[in-house]
Amino acid sequence: MLFGPNLSDIEKEIENADSYQAFYEASLYHDEVSGANAWKEEDDSSAYDYQMIRKRVERIKAARASRDAPALMSILHEGIHGNLGNIANPLLNKKAKIGTKKLIQEFLDEVCAALDFIYNADENEVDFYEKLSFFDETNHSYGQSCLMLSGGAGLGFFHAGVVKTLLAHDLIPKVVSGASAGSIIAALIGTRPKDELADLLTAENIYEHFRGWSRFKGVRQDSFFDSTRLENALIELFDLTTFDEAYEKTGISMTITVSPADLHQHSRLLNHKTSPNAIITQAVRASCAIPYVFSPVYLKAKNQQGDVIPYIPNRQFADGSLMADLPFERLARLFGVNHSIVSQINPLAAPFIAGGKHKTDSIKELTIRHATTLAKKNSVYFFDVLESLSKNDALRRGIHKVRSIIEQQYVGDINILPKRKLTDYRHVFANPSLDSLTKLIKSAEKACWPHIDMIRRNTQISKTFRKHLKDLKKRESLLLSHNTHPYREMNREASNDAASGQV
């Protein structure tokens, strides 16, 4: 591919790229012309502790060179975590289109090579159960990434393009959450193997299932729209599958968020840990129940006999994005998550994006963020006062929902955002056309491309941990099934001794 030396020409090539490969090649050329490649070669930077990282790389290399698995285990045990020396500082991602400091990439590669070495170490030197304990404990302390899919009503199929792109690069995390429209795509991730998921995430398949989801029925007491077609689509996709059944099938920890329809309940996260027997179809239907658009619903579950029964009887639930669009803190407690990838299409989030988590060295961005944070805090205080003064339950519920919308955090560590245009909002409650879905999914794919390299780096170590831990647990299961677990052998010998009177 030939470019002129002008950076603006290369940026146009990047903007107009029609495939990830074209985007990637143009971005690499931009780094060459802009001088970013020279920046990558230099270790030093005030944005991270390059001296610590350099020393850690040297220690790992030395231990590997001497084939000292116990030493490698000690080095990794003592302080490895996702942002060691601030290597995940967002400022480091602003200098180059592709890649980061060569030293940081070398550190990531060396850690993964060390994990491979430990996994393959001679078990006369490192016992199987030492390996299992090391990978289990260190993986837990290191943490993992999650993918959170926001609400967005008719715009929510943007997430299909994001997931399709991440899937193509094998970058779907094992922890996924979805709210409102995002719950549909999250449930697809959690219930489908990879090859089947890829086939479902096309504009044609989505159109076939959801082309008639928006059907106005008039001004009624509970909702303006008829949910029958949406419910039929969800039943066709998920049937009576429970969260536990889905997890057993895919190994994905998939969470659906729902909000209470009354005042005295908190939002709930439904997944294989908190609600294993809850039925996914009803959970997604509840999460999509935007107030006054669709009616709230009662959740369902399966009992031990497989019969469908009420779940949390006498409580109705509605749109998950109202109170838990991106439930990062609770996912962190449940699944050890410490890094988030966010696909954010929620129209309600647009005014709050400026108050993001990322560090910045721009005075203008810092000023905008500070002003946004102050506005949020003042608004929350105002609605707290209104709620405390109100005596009408319906009014208090409405005030509480608005307060929840304002108070939430709508961004994560890596944020995949659409290029918003006012004309897009006409699709929020409209039935999609095949053309509109095709454009929406394509725009999501392009929005995802600049983040692929960063996501790959940020998940490189956790994927290596997960791969080896999975294999070790599979071996452990096999050992247990053949009664070769050492503790089981000890217990069996003790039982035999007791039976023969030797104890």
Per-residue pLDDT tens digits for 246-266: 999 999 999 999 988 765 567
Q: Could you give the angle at which helices 158-168 and 181-191 cross, rounded to 10 degrees?
A: 30
Span 331-361, pLDDT tens digits: 999 999 989 999 999 887 776 675 445 555 5
For CA atoms 421, 443, 90, 352, the dihedral sign is positive
Q: What percent of the chain has pLDDT over 70?
A: 84
In a shared domain, residues 243 and 298: yes
Lowest mean pLDDT among 75-84, 358-367, 409-418: 358-367
C-beta separation of 462 from 144 below 8 A? yes
Is 218 a domain residue? yes
Q: pLDDT value at position 274?
A: 96
Q: pLDDT value at position 154?
A: 86
Return d(Cα 247, Cα 249) in angstroms, integer: 5
HSE-up of 314 (CA within 13 Å, CB side)?
0
In a shared domain, residues 177 and 202: yes
Mean pLDDT of 194-200: 92
Q: pLDDT value at position 493?
A: 45
pLDDT band of 397, cuts 50, 70, 90? low
In a shared domain, residues 323 and 213: yes
User: Is the pLDDT assigned to residue 328 strictly greater than 80?
Assistant: yes
In a shared domain, residues 169 and 193: yes
- Residue 92 lies in domain: 7-143+456-473
Q: pLDDT value at position 479?
A: 86
pLDDT band of 370, cuts 50, 70, 90? low
In a shared domain, residues 277 and 296: yes
Return d(Cα 283, Cα 312) in angstroms, integer: 12
Note the residue count of the chain: 503
In a shared domain, residues 284 and 212: yes
Mean pLDDT of 219-248: 88
Lowest mean pLDDT among 167-176, 177-186, 479-488: 479-488
In a shared domain, residues 444 and 389: no
pLDDT band of 503, cuts 50, 70, 90? very low
In a shared domain, residues 96 and 181: no
Catalogue the active-site residues.
180, 319
Return d(Cα 238, Cα 254) in angstroms, integer: 13
pLDDT, the chain, mean: 86
In a shared domain, residues 440 and 461: no
Span 42-82, pLDDT tens digits: 999 999 999 999 999 999 999 999 999 999 999 998 878 77
Is 100 a domain residue? yes
Q: Could you give the C-alpha distances from 114 to 87, 108, 427, in angstroms and in order?
A: 19, 10, 50
pTM for the full predicted model: 0.85
Is 294 a domain residue? yes
In a shared domain, residues 330 and 369: no
Q: pLDDT value at position 129?
A: 94
Q: pLDDT value at position 422?
A: 60
For CA atoms 177, 183, 186, 187, the dihedral sign is positive
User: Is the pLDDT assigned to residue 174 strictly greater than 90?
Assistant: yes
Span 275-296, pLDDT tens digits: 999 999 999 999 999 887 888 9
Q: pLDDT value at position 405?
A: 73
Lowest mean pLDDT among 108-112, 153-157, 418-422, 472-476: 418-422
Q: Could you tell me which of 18, 19, 25, 24 has the C-alpha nearest to residue 1?
A: 25
Is 186 a domain residue? yes
Is 2 a domain residue? no
In a shared domain, residues 86 and 157: no
- How many domains does the structure of the chain reveal? 3
The alpha carbon of 461 is separated from its chain's Cα centroid by a whole number of angstroms, namely 16
User: Is the pLDDT assigned to residue 491 strictly greater than 50?
Assistant: no
Q: pLDDT value at position 21?
A: 96
In a shared domain, residues 82 and 211: no
The alpha carbon of 414 is separated from its chain's Cα centroid by a whole number of angstroms, namely 10
Is 241 a domain residue? yes
C-beta separation of 115 from 472 below 8 A? no
Choose between 220 and 447: higher pLDDT. 447
Q: pLDDT value at position 80?
A: 80
Is 480 a domain residue? no
Return d(Cα 261, Cα 171) in angstroms, integer: 35
pLDDT band of 128, cuts 50, 70, 90? very high
CATH number at residue 180: 3.40.1090.10
Is 26 a domain residue? yes
pLDDT band of 362, cuts 50, 70, 90? low
Return d(Cα 132, Cα 116) in angstroms, integer: 13
For CA atoms 312, 317, 323, 327, the dihedral sign is positive
